[in-house]
Amino acid sequence: MSSSGAFAFSNRSTGTELEKLHCVTCPPTTLKRSELRLEPSERGIQCRRRAREKLHPRVMHSLHPEKVELFKSLEGWAESTLLPLLKPVDKCWQPQDHLPEPSSEGFFDEVKELRARAACLPDDYLVCLVGDMITEEALPTYQTMLNTLDGTRDETGASSSPWGIWTRTWTAEENRHGDLLNKYLYLTGRVDMRQIEKTIQYLIGSGMDPQTENNPYLGFVYTSFQERATFISHGNTARHAKQYGDGRLATVCGLIAADEKRHENAYTKIVEKLFELDPDGAMLAFADMMRKKISMPAHLMYDGQDEHLFDNFSLVAQRIGVYTAKDYADIMEHLVAKWNVANIQGLSSEGHKAQDYLCSLPVRIRRLEEHAQSKVKKGPKTGSFSWIFNREVALL
Ligand SMILES: [Fe+2]
Ligand SMILES: [Fe+2]
């Protein structure tokens, strides 16, 4: 269905700032008058977001004021434990270390070699690599997310608090990931860069809502999970690149995966500390995030054409083993073990319930996943991706 065809408008003025709109693909919702000026496809995004907000009213600032103080009291700990997990700029790799050198005479030969290696990459792999790159490129959204958190946000944009320093330096390290993948993919000549750039612009414009309620307990459970998810995903794209014969790309993805692992280590240390200081609060937060399900940071992905872009990208990633539902259960299981959830003491009855829920969850997720997989194996299905000039890729 074309996106413009997805809308039926009622231009009846309500006399208020709101205009009733009906999108046939979304639950009934309302859009602000300013949103009427958007392209129909963009209205679709606004429409879905507002519908979601109606279905799941957002809880905000759920952190109790005395717990804001807890994060204040952890500044010394953050300085001595977290900040050393970041690397000094001089010790970091830079994208240019792994790309053809444009000032060198051998530049064109290096590009030719890169393109020859990339010629062996299949379309389904390219879709996953592009999706991963786009996810990295939406970094402004993730820095924003960290700066929504009460007690740890960077209050000035250049705060000297260890939490603020962490967020900025983490962002600066992460910025290399999208840069490197973007330039690499550009040089391969295998992908439609304009469509990719549009997708990035849409995605940053859409933002994300991880349902972390401005609450660093929830926020750091979310980032612990996500850093491990990206570690797994980039690790798998590295492994596949090697199998396809692009060793340089394997190195690139491997380096990015190693950064993600280091970041995962930092975020899981924060939650570990919360379990030590406030076992009940940490347990309830972990269970709350898992009940809500960890939404992927790029879940609002859109390229101006495909309303199901993120779902289709996820299906390809699942099919070729870049990021799968099994990985979700594995991450869950890993975090339960890492935080020693089964043996945490000093819990309220609510905390005990959350503990039981968390300990049984990996098995339940696996069972649900097996059930879902047995259903989807029924027939071949393909989808086209604008990122690779609308070529068809198997989804199932
Ligand atoms: Fe990253
Ligand atoms: Fe990351």
**How far does residue 268's CA lie from ligand 2's centre (Å)?**
13
**How far does residue 127's CA lie from ligand 2's centre (Å)?**
19
Q: Which ligand is nearest to the CA of 175?
A: 1
Q: Which helix (H) or strand (E) holds 23?
A: strand 18-23
Residue 87 is classified by DSSP as P
**How far does residue 260's CA lie from ligand 1's centre (Å)?**
6
Active site residues: 93, 136, 174, 177, 227, 230, 259-260, 263
Q: Which helix (H) or strand (E) holds 253?
A: helix 247-277
Task: Read off the tokens for 191.
Answer: 């992908």
**Alpha-carbon separation of residue 142 from 62, 116, 204 (angstroms):** 20, 35, 10
Can you give the pLDDT at residue 370?
A: 85
Can you give the pLDDT at residue 58?
A: 81
**How far does residue 162's CA lie from ligand 1's centre (Å)?**
21
**Residue 307 · residue 23 · CB < 8 Å:** no
Q: Which ligand is nearest to the CA of 229?
A: 2
Residue 329 is classified by DSSP as H
**Residue 120 · residue 242 · CB < 8 Å:** no
Query: Which pLDDT tens digits describe the chain residue by residue (396 residues)?
Result: 233 322 222 233 333 333 333 333 343 344 554 554 455 556 566 666 666 666 566 899 999 999 999 999 999 999 999 999 999 999 999 999 999 999 999 999 999 999 999 999 999 999 999 999 999 999 999 999 999 999 999 999 999 999 999 999 999 999 999 999 999 999 999 999 999 999 999 999 999 999 999 999 999 999 999 999 999 999 999 999 999 999 999 999 999 999 999 999 999 999 999 999 999 999 999 999 999 999 999 999 999 999 999 999 999 999 999 999 999 999 999 999 999 999 999 999 999 999 999 999 999 999 988 887 777 665 569 999 999 999 999 998
Q: Which ligand is nearest to the CA of 228?
A: 2
Can you give the pLDDT at residue 160?
A: 97
Can you give the pLDDT at residue 375?
A: 73
Tell me which residue of 294, 295, 281 sits closest to 339, measured CA to CA. Answer: 281
Cα(388)–Cα(383) distance, rounded to whole angstroms?
11
**How far does residue 133's CA lie from ligand 2's centre (Å)?**
12
Cα(309)–Cα(296) distance, rounded to whole angstroms?
13
Q: Which residues contact 192 (CB under 8 A, 6 or more apart)?
A: 386, 387, 388, 389
> pTM value?
0.88
**How far does residue 354's CA lie from ligand 1's centre (Å)?**
30
Cα(380)–Cα(395) distance, rounded to whole angstroms?
8
Q: Which ligand is nearest to the CA of 262?
A: 2
**How far does residue 138's CA lie from ligand 1's centre (Å)?**
10
Cα(305)–Cα(155) distance, rounded to whole angstroms?
38
**How far does residue 139's CA lie from ligand 2's centre (Å)?**
9
**How far does residue 135's CA lie from ligand 2's centre (Å)?**
10
**How far does residue 251's CA lie from ligand 1's centre (Å)?**
15
